[in-house]
Amino acid sequence: MSTTFDETAVLAPPKPSRSPWRWARENLFFSAWGTLATLSLALLLAWALPPLVKWALLDAVWSGATRDACLTPEGTVGGGACWVFVKVRFGQLMYGFYPLEQRWRVDAAALTLALGLATVLPLRAATQRAAALAGVVIGGLGAGWLGGPALGAVVALFLAGPLLLARDLSALRRLPAVARVLLVVGLSVLAAGVGGVAFGTPKAFGWVTLVLAAGLFGWRFDSLRAAGLNLLGLVFPVLAQALLSGGAYGLPYVPTEQWGGLFLTLTIALTGMAASLPLGILLALGRRSALPVLRLTCIGFIEFIRGVPMITVLFLASVMLPLFLPEGVGVDKLLRALIGVALFSAAYMAEVVRGGLQALEPGQREAAESLGLGRVQTMGLVILPQALRVVIPGIVNTFIGLLKDTSLVAVIGLLDLIGIIKTATSDPNWLGFAAEGYTFVGLVFWVLCFSMARYSLRLERILRNGVA
């Protein structure tokens, strides 16, 4: 410590210090109250955390296949977590009561969805291309393994056509649009033809659906993303329904009562997301319409749904809906829950979208109209793309809320993740392991929700920087 006045020492900027002691003094012990808070909180954590770690990891039982593995020699429940319980129930937690030998169908649908999403979501172009290629190869091989080489060829051709013709990655991009559409439709018809010859007429209906879908699907393929979007929106629902329910193409029928676990949770969440976004957009547009009847209907619907708990909407769908349908028209329990979830989240989505519409300057609409664009074009090409981009964080937040809210279907008796673990923990053979079960299910939900939130942040950054 010098006592003389040294000008250079005063003028020099403070050196960033990396010493841990300095860091601790600035961030933990900067004042008397700060020190007190740090010490008391540290004491609390030191009291609470070690037993938790001991329970969850150190004293936990990981191996074994029965309840006995988790008991002390005296026959009481031990002090550590019994992860054997989760291990034994793992299959049910993932697939519910979907028949064991049919579970690959769920995996196949999930894989298709993952590859499809990879071509649509804003990821690196190379990742998207890799996913598309993987889709073609895996789809072809998978179908070939299932139904023989003919089916494999059909599926591969069907998938390859539009994906490889997508303007942003194909060498054929210079062909006129008509030629490309014809090429894709041709490939699809060829695929359907091979399929028809190979599998005979009873399956023709399915193939007609596929050809029609392909026609729509090849309708717009400016980019891989457009092709992927068409594939996900038009082909995937048909494919997933056929694959998961079965009852055709030699796949045994699996009633929705046997669906469950994470699979059911994701099914409800994804269907809800897919339905609530377009419904929400329509409701938001309706709410801002100049037509009073339309506007009041939309406002009434949105405010009603937002004013009541989701449980009552589910009760409405599960108990009251059958009353309002003609006698004898039974609606599947899962479908009723899906309707309830979709209506509920659509109302919340509508308010999010409305925020985006309100944030847009009126000049955008006026400019579009003065350029001679019609109503639909103004909305689809100018207003909505900008409005939706503004509210992406809100949309993802609604999706996260939707994923968490799907857990409520357990209340009306569906066996989603929560429903399964609720039954599993009340199994008389496995009483006393509720903490383990809920911890595991919580971990699954947490990873899903947290990664969605993180992806939303990334998406915001990508869109703000204007790099897709």
Partner 1 sequence: MTNDRSVPEGPPRGPAWTAARIRGLAIQGAILAALVGLLAWGVGNAIHNLNKAGIAAGFHFLGNRAGFDINFRLIDYSPAATYGRAFVVGVLNTLTVSALGIVAATALGFALGIGRLSRNWLVSRTAATVIETVRNLPLLLQLLFWYTAVLAPLPRPRNAISLGGLAFLSNRGLTVPGPVSDGPVWMVWAALGLGLAAAAAIGIWSRRRRIQTGQRFPAGWVGLALIVLPPLAVLGSGTVPLSWDIPVLKGFNFDGGLTLVPELIALWLALTLYSGAFIGETVRAGILSVPKGQVEAAQAMGLTPGAVLRLVVVPQAMRVIIPPMTTQHLTLLKNSSLAVVIGFPDLVAVFSGTTLNQTGQAIETIGMTMAVYLVVSLAISFGMNLYNSKMAIVRR
- Using CB under 8 A as the binding rule, whether residue 422 contacts partner 1 is answered as yes
Q: Which of 243, 257, 251 has the alpha carbon at shortest distance from 110? A: 243
Three-state secondary structure readout of the chain: CCCCCCHHHHHCCCCCCCCHHHHHHHHCCCCHHHHHHHHHHHHHHHHHHHHHHHHHHHCCECCCCCHHHHECCCCCECCCCEHHHHHHHHHHHHHECCCHHHHHHHHHHHHHHHHHHHHHCCCCHHHHHHHHHHHHHHHHHHHHHHHHHHHHHHHHHHHHHHHHHCCCCCHHHHCCHHHHHHHHHHHHHHHHHHHHHHHCHHHHHHHHHHHHHHHHHCCCCCCHHHHHHHHHHHHHHHHHHHHHHCCCCCCCCCCHHHECHHHHHHHHHHHHHHHHHHHHHHHHHHHCCCCHHHHHHHHHHHHHHHHCCHHHHHHHHHHHHHHHCCCCCCCCHHHHHHHHHHHHHHHHHHHHHHHHHHHCCHHHHHHHHHCCCCHHHHHHHHHHHHHHHHCHHHHHHHHHHHHHHHHHHHHHCCCEHHHHHHHHHCCHHHCCCHHHHHHHHHHHHHHHHHHHHHHHHHHHHHHHHCCC
Residues 6+ apart with CB under 8 A from 47: none
Q: Is residue 145 a contact residue for partner 1 (CB under 8 A)? A: no
Report, in Å, the least distance between residue 66 CB and partner 1.
21
Is 159 among the residues that bind partner 1 (CB under 8 A)? no
Chosen residue from 292, 363, 428, 466 binding partner 1 by CB under 8 A:
292
Q: Rounded to an integer, what distance in angstroms lies between the CA atom of residue 287 and that of residue 301?
A: 10
State the Cα–Cα distance between residues 295 and 285, nearest whole angstrom: 9
In the complex, least distance from residue 438 CB atom to partner 1, rounded to whole angstroms: 4
In the complex, what is the shortest distance from the CB of residue 283 to partner 1, in angstroms, rounded to a whole number?
A: 13
Q: Which residues contact 60 (CB under 8 A, 6 or more apart)?
A: 80, 81, 82, 83
Is position 290 an interface residue for partner 1 (rule: CB under 8 A)? yes
Residue from 312, 371, 389, 457 in contact with partner 1 (CB under 8 A):
312
Cβ 96 to partner 1 shortest distance, Å: 17
Interacting residue with partner 1 among 57, 125, 311, 359 (CB under 8 A)? 311
By CB under 8 A, residue 445 contacts partner 1: yes
Binding region for partner 1 (CB under 8 A) out of 153-161, 189-197, 269-277, 318-326: 318-326
Q: Which stretch binds partner 1 (CB under 8 A): 82-90, 186-194, 247-255, 307-315?
A: 307-315
Nearer to partner 1, 120 or 417 (CB): 417
**Which of 65-73, 136-144, 152-160, 427-435 is the region at the interface with partner 1 (rule: CB under 8 A)?**
427-435
461 binds partner 1 (CB under 8 A): no
The reply to whether 410 sits near partner 1 by the rule CB under 8 A is: yes
The CB-of-40 to partner 1 minimum distance in angstroms stands at 10
Site for partner 1 in 381-400 (CB under 8 A): 400
Stretch in the footprint of partner 1 (CB under 8 A) among 6-14, 210-218, 379-387, 432-440: 432-440
Q: Counting contacts by CB under 8 A, is residue 438 touching partner 1?
A: yes
Q: Whose Cβ is closer to partner 1: residue 112's or residue 265's? A: 265
Candidate residues 17, 22, 27, 455; the one interacting with partner 1 per rule CB under 8 A: 27
Among 446, 455, 458, 461, binds partner 1 (CB under 8 A): 446
Q: Are 442 and 418 in contact (CB under 8 A)?
A: no
Q: How many positions of this chain bind partner 1 (CB under 8 A)?
A: 57
Is the torsion defined by CA of 189, 191, 193, 196 positive or negative?
negative
- Using CB under 8 A, which of the segments 4-12, 33-41, 100-108, 132-140 binds partner 1? 33-41
In this chain, which stretch among 148-156, 164-172, 316-324, 352-360 interacts with partner 1, using CB under 8 A? Answer: 316-324
Does 306 interact with partner 1 (rule: CB under 8 A)?
Answer: yes
Binding pattern to partner 1, positions 40-79, x when CB under 8 A?
Answer: -xx--x----------------------------------
Q: 148 or 309: whose CB is closer to partner 1?
A: 309
Q: Does 335 bind partner 1 (CB under 8 A)?
A: no
List all residues 6 or more positions away from 460 whose beta carbon is below 8 Å from its beta carbon: 392, 393
- Tell me the closest approach of the beta carbon of residue 335 to partner 1, in angstroms: 17
- What is the contact surface with partner 1 in residues (CB under 8 A)? 27-28, 30, 34, 37-38, 41-42, 45, 290-294, 297, 303-304, 306-312, 315-316, 319-320, 322-327, 400, 404-405, 407-408, 410-411, 418, 422, 425, 432, 434-435, 437-439, 441-442, 445-446, 449-450, 453
